[in-house]
Structure 1
Amino acid sequence: MKGKRRNGLPRYCSLVIDRHKKRRIRFRTKGVDTYLPFPPVGPEFEMAYAAALAGVTEWRENIGASRTRPGSFDALAVSYYRSPTFKGLRETTKRTYRRIIENFRVKHGARMMRDLRREHVKALIGDMSDRPQAANRLLSLLKIMLDHALDNGWITANPATGIKGFSKKTKGFHTWSDAEIAAFEERHLEGTRARLALNLLLYTAQRRSDVVLMGWQQINGRTISVKQEKTGAELDLFMLPALLTSIRELPRDKPTFLTTDFGKPFTAAGFGNWFRDRCNEAGLPHCSAHGLRKAAARRMAEGGMSGDIIKAVTGHTDLKQVSVYTAAANQTALAEMGAKAIAGKKSRTNIVQPNRKVGQRKGE
């Protein structure tokens, strides 16, 4: 298990003695404060620790009632967490995977993998028709984990292979219009924390997970350096005057530009919830932090910027991803630009009258 301290305990864990003089392992980090089984070794502890990392605490109803059985989904999860495949993932991806896996384990952890059939997987996914995106994410992860079970000889075939998820008809997060941006600015004036958040999101075109980490240490003249939390992409972004104005008077002893009411940096999820409340205050309940990233891409597309230029700002790796973000660009304006390009540039032609032939009279 990664992240051990010198005292031999995993990260975020400490040894405590309760009022009954019993040893217990306390897990405490942002948003999670719970107790894990003692001693801090073995499948039971690892299952509880993984659940705590994912922010899931329901595991306590099952831990202690029964041990992890070999061949069960619980055992598969523990084995997958130990695998090079999982350990090689980015930390943000690990957290997402753990959350999905641990929520699934609450209901199905004790079930044996050898009993899982194709019709069972279809039924599990079908029961999530009201949450198609969550269903598709679960299906993708089940395929990965069942491949892991197949490689380790737990099953003879992957029952999830070939099963299709729900059709992706959603447009994703709503792209802010210029009118919605103006409405937010009217409600949250320059100098407020909400306006600072808007400017950071819009004028850098970055994700909330990157915006909450921005601070003076990343500023170099007129640029701000960003290493994207999700992709690891490293960007140097030109700062527009509106953004420079927003940060000019901010204290330089804080680790980040945006802080909570307690003066601490936001978590990405905490910031997302806080910013949604600010959107609600501006009468924009359908708007979100991520929608401003899409609005920035839309504005660049409407300004005639190429896909490569947009990629250089957003950090996307291919034009297909960019097209998703620029889908809300004003079609009429872009079509007019295209039509003018088709017409080409008309050059002015000077008509020169030929000289009269020798001997030719005027008017002949």
Structure 2
Amino acid sequence: MSRIKLKYVDSFTDRYGVRRFYFRRTKKDKRIMLPGLPGSDDFMSAYQLALDGQPPIARTKEGSPAAREVVPCSFDALVLRYFASPEFLALKTPTRKAYRLAIERIVRDDKIGPLKVADFRREHLKAMMAKRAETPSSANDTLKKLRILLKFAIDISWRRDDPTIGMKKFAEGEHHTWTEEEIALFEERWPLGTLQRTALALLLYTGQRVSDVAGMSWKDVNQEGTAIHVTQDKTGTKLWIPIHADLMSQLNEWPRHSATDAMLYTEYGKPFTAKGFGNKMADAIEAAKLPEECVSHGIRKAASRRLAEAGCTAHEIASITGHKSLAEVERYTKAASQQMLSQAGIAKLRAKVVPNSVS
């Protein structure tokens, strides 16, 4: 019989002869007891929580299905199986944390834990979406997480159909795309050589998300200094992005720190976290007295707009921004494309000579 070897897991036999398993990353850490046997749903769910640095599920009063009596083939049971599945474990740690919190919140708030998965109907889903109608992003995320769970339920033969198929998402407000005037206002407030100006240049000339720019390092620049390699935090997409001459000139105004290879660093010489960098940009935008709709993500959209205005195709833009969907790129650059097409269309009309009016 083969044994399951799991990192940071050890065991001992207690005085009653029962084999106990626990998680401990280092000898300085406290032991975290793991329920059941390695490979079981409860064990693997608790193990994954420990790996993610979250409190053991046994401490949860009602947020986790593991703290309730689990009805067979219910949503509680499905969630436990999903959290222990290869599909879930293959996700990146930040994604696993976000998915776990969102799924447990949905199951708790909508009280569907004891509900048999096979009894879940489209009417249930519609009611859950309607409940969140005033916050479309929350409603759409609920739909997304339920679609993941129900697809998993089909894979393990707990139901045959997917009631989320054909369910439309709610319309969400789009992030405002920064205009050239707004970019100029930011640059006027933050001159060359400042952290804020350098951050803007990286966001604007690479078209990346805040989380990816926060993690950029000089180690990722090729030997010629002409391109930077990026692995997107959200999607895992690997990109090779040429460094624009204007970006390089602005990077040259920002001193490198001897204690870190990070392109952007805090006042203490430490690399930024994604959240810390996002907060820093929010403060910089506010200090520049830009309109409230100007947020950091709008700079990524401005980068796409600039590329579109330069005549780049959707494929060329996606090769830089890393978008998987060309439709998303086209949505970002819709205004620029309309302007260019209208100009090209008018230019193709042959001019007519209008005779002077006869007096």
- TM-score normalised per structure 1: 0.74
Distance 1:175 1:12, change over 3 A: farther
Q: State how many pairs are aligned.
A: 323
1:139-172 alpha-carbon deviations (Å, 9 max, x no partner): 12212212322443445654x34462444353x2
Distance 1:40 1:300, change over 3 A: same
| Displacement after TM superposition at 1:129 (Å) | 0.3
Instruction: Give the SS at the match of 1:78.
Output: helix
Give me the whole-angstrom Cα distance separating, in 2, the residues matched to 1:56 and 1:338.
61
Which one of the candidate residues 150, 153, 156 is aligned to 1:149?
A: 153
Report if the CA contact (8 A) 1:47-1:74 is conserved: no
Aligned residue number for residue 77 of structure 1:
79
Distance 1:117 1:90, change over 3 A: same
1:192-246 alpha-carbon deviations (Å, 9 max, x no partner): 2221211110011111221111111011222212222233333222222332233
Alignment of 1:15-164 (within 5 A): 25=32, 38-39=33-34, 47=45, 53=52, 60-62=60-62, 66-89=68-91, 93-107=95-109, 108=111, 110-114=113-117, 116-155=120-159, 158=162, 160-162=163-165, 164=167
> Which stretch shifts more, 326-335 or 56-65?
56-65
Alignment of 1:200-279 (within 5 A): 200-220=202-222, 221-248=225-252, 249-279=255-285
Distance 1:250 1:297, change over 3 A: same
Give me the whole-angstrom Cα distance separating, in 1, the residues matched to 2:80 and 2:260.
39
Distance 1:121 1:10, change over 3 A: farther
| Displacement after TM superposition at 1:183 (Å) | 1.1
1:106-130 alpha-carbon deviations (Å, 9 max, x no partner): 4336423255443222211110001
| Displacement after TM superposition at 1:57 (Å) | 9.7
| Displacement after TM superposition at 1:269 (Å) | 3.4
| Displacement after TM superposition at 1:287 (Å) | 1.6
Report if the CA contact (8 A) 2:74-2:114 is conserved: yes
Distance 1:181 1:306, change over 3 A: same
Give me the whole-angstrom Cα distance separating, in 1, the residues matched to 2:84 and 2:120.
22
Give me the whole-angstrom Cα distance separating, in 1, the residues matched to 2:53 and 2:161.
29
Distance 1:164 1:153, change over 3 A: same
Aligned residue number for residue 185 of structure 1:
187
Report if the CA contact (8 A) 1:174-1:287 is conserved: yes
Structure 2, unpaired ranges of 5+: 12-21, 351-359
Q: Aligned-pair RMSD on alpha carbons?
A: 3.5
Distance 1:326 1:332, change over 3 A: closer
Instruction: Give the SS at the match of 2:239.
Output: strand
Give me the whole-angstrom Cα distance separating, in 2, the residues matched to 1:78 and 1:189.
52
| Displacement after TM superposition at 1:44 (Å) | 5.4
Aligned residue number for residue 356 of structure 2:
none
Structure 1, unpaired ranges of 5+: 18-23, 26-37, 345-364
The residue type equivalent to 1:143 in the other structure is R
Give me the whole-angstrom Cα distance separating, in 1, the residues matched to 2:150 and 2:280.
38
Give me the whole-angstrom Cα distance separating, in 2, the residues matched to 1:275 and 1:54.
28
Q: Once the two structures are aligned, what percentage of the paired residues are identical?
A: 38
> Which stretch shifts more, 6-15 or 254-263?
6-15
Report if the CA contact (8 A) 2:205-2:303 is conserved: yes
